[in-house]
Structure 1
Amino acid sequence: MRVLAALSGGVDSAVAAAKAVEAGHEVVGVHMALSSQPQECRLGSRGCCSVEDAADAARAAEIMGIPFYVWDLAEEFEQTVITDFVEQYKAGHTPNPCVRCNEFVKFRELAQRARALGFDAVCTGHYARIVRTDSGPQLHRGRDEAKDQSYVLAIMGPEELPRVIFPLGDAPSKSWVRSEAERMGLGVSNKPDSYDICFIPDGDTQGFLRSHLGSNPGDIVDTEGRVVGRHDGYWNFTVGQRRGLNLGNPAADGRPRYVVETKPQLNQVVVGASELLSIDHIDCSELVWLAPDDLGEIDELATREFGPSLGERCLNEVDEGVVTAQIRAHGVPSVVTELVRENNEDGSSRLSVALAQPIRGVAAGQSLVLYRGTRVIAEATIERAYRGQGSAAS
């Protein structure tokens, strides 16, 4: 196959491309330059898309003996990821920019350009697996649970599954990947992983939002509407936050308070007791269903036998009959006991799920991903999270 390999400049993408070469594919490497200021250097392991990363990607391609190109996607990244990130916070949501980057840049732009140029597939260094079956390809968790990236890949949709290759899906560990990079002489075996939000390399999210949204002082209120403090911008707060509230009036019971909601229309941050963070019902929009052969029916017998909590059980051994929901990239999935899909008049779909056990700190704007066993079956954007009637506090 003719394969277009995305080379970020890191060890994962380099080893993935090299594995595609070893598998006999005709591979071309491409570095997606996403930063409007690529001349900036990385701050340790923070950030990406620097001039250093582009140079490392070029060297890796040269070592592999494959053609290499740089695509300037900074404008697309600015419009679809950074702008969306700011607007979501302004709307009182807590977005996941990695999900949007995978949706709009790493797969939409990469896949569209690959098809236009006559490539059969794209290859990336994500830790996830594509399982080929008689009913079509399926997206599954990566073998290494600590590095599994299926959560952020679910947004790609079913149409891209036949045209992607994830050579690291069966990698047993990151140390194994680094040893493979050293064996292949790729020169990036000891390069640190990038983390945090790539376009905020100093890690100061509040400072970044302040530079884009400015200041907008307002009230911090309790669940009864009583003013207990002041804020400089509701977008600086997210559900579950405890630090940095600077509340002037302590709670009557002396217990700590947490952010339970932001209200952009009223310019308010709402705080309350810890138990208010525990929810067991989630409503979502922008549903993407990846499993046309699996409609998400709940196997009640399997759910009862499995129990309400995954505990410490290996995610790659979860019973295939159990549907679980995950709301963070490396969060522990929760067993789903009820699932409802609804179609809107505009052709979009909504999703509502009930969980066997309450979970904490769910915010609007986060992604919810559904699994059956290790298989990803759906992704949606959280709009509302709440406690169902009769639920016991966690």
Structure 2
Amino acid sequence: MTDGPFSMKINRRSVLKAAAAVGVAQVAAPFVISARAADKVKIGLDDPFTGTYAELGKNEKIGCELAVEEINKKGGILGREVELLSEDSTSTNTGTAVQKAHKLIDRDKVDFLLGNVNSAMALATGEVSAQAKVLHIVTGGHTDAVTGTDCHWNVFRVCNTTRMETNSVSQILFNEFGKKWYFITPDYAFGHTLQQGFEASLKKFGGTEAGASLTPLGTTDFSSYLIKAQAANPDVIIFLTAGQDAVNSLKQAVQFGLDKKFHIAGAQQELEVLEGLPENARIGTWVFEWYWNQPNVPHVKEFVAAIRKKNNGKVPTARHWFGYVSTWTCALIANQEKTLDAVKLAKALEGFTLPPEIALMPDKVAYRAGDHQLMPDLYVGHAVSKGAVPEDLFHVDKIVKGTDAALPVSETGCKVTWPA
């Protein structure tokens, strides 16, 4: 059956004929269901499914899809079925991401917007969603400004800020591996703010910046940057690359033998990257934003099993968790407040705590009032070349609470202005 006025007219005629034959009571329920099906709550995902960050975006989508399935089994949002609409932002074209955000909001009439992996795209689409007055959950764009200087009343973020990531690991790197650092930095908002966070730590601890190489997104040959890093003779080479860029840069660093001369480290690391590396390149000190092997945390086992069913038997990554939490956030707050009004929902989300079966972490996980940043745990540890279980490629050495790693709201630069 197709949707639209014509199909509804035919459907109504069929219902009237059936009512005359067998009684209204027997046909009322299916008619109501058909009407509700045409009045779905729509969640739009604007994320990269091609390019450098394609795997990250696709995994966020899988997490969203699982959440939608669970939400619908529990009655949907406000008693209405939930539908996920997704658009490929690409990994590098911010203009495309903005166009897709407009399509989802203006043409598809989504009630909520999710995304993006790319920090520049998260910032740009945040402007679009704010103007349209649509509640927007940033899934995986980390640059500080999203919940800092460029924050909006309608924008909330699940993944960490870059400063949270650098603050959680800097002291360990400085104390254990040396105070002279060189940076391999992707040349856009995400990389810039990560480097700035590490530089702030170096200044605080009295360390030295040996140099930095800015690398374009989609770089395949990192040799010139790695040669400069080696010549600088640092104690630690900080890799701030992500996605396929991280795979390429780390693989080539090992081919150059840099891991034998310097400590390899960084902030954000992902299971997608470690799985894409050869065993000898699974090295270094990193931060994971969520990790699947948490045997003592309630509900994690069930989440892992559910993602395996949707992900060709593979365990979930932080990206699956980002999509899952973002989607469930929309449902939880709308059902709590019994409305889809974006302003009312945004105000209710300030201070909102995720239930344990969604948070999937040891500590309390809540959206901070003032800047709308989620305060999750951060998992600091080291990569493992080969785990006892094939996908257990990271050893958690320390769990840091988000509230301990984040800057105070007063230092983020966020000044939330609410609509009149």
Same fold (TM over 0.5): no
TM-score of the superposed pair, with normalisation by structure 1: 0.26
The structure richer in strand per residue is 1
Q: Which has the higher helix share?
A: 2
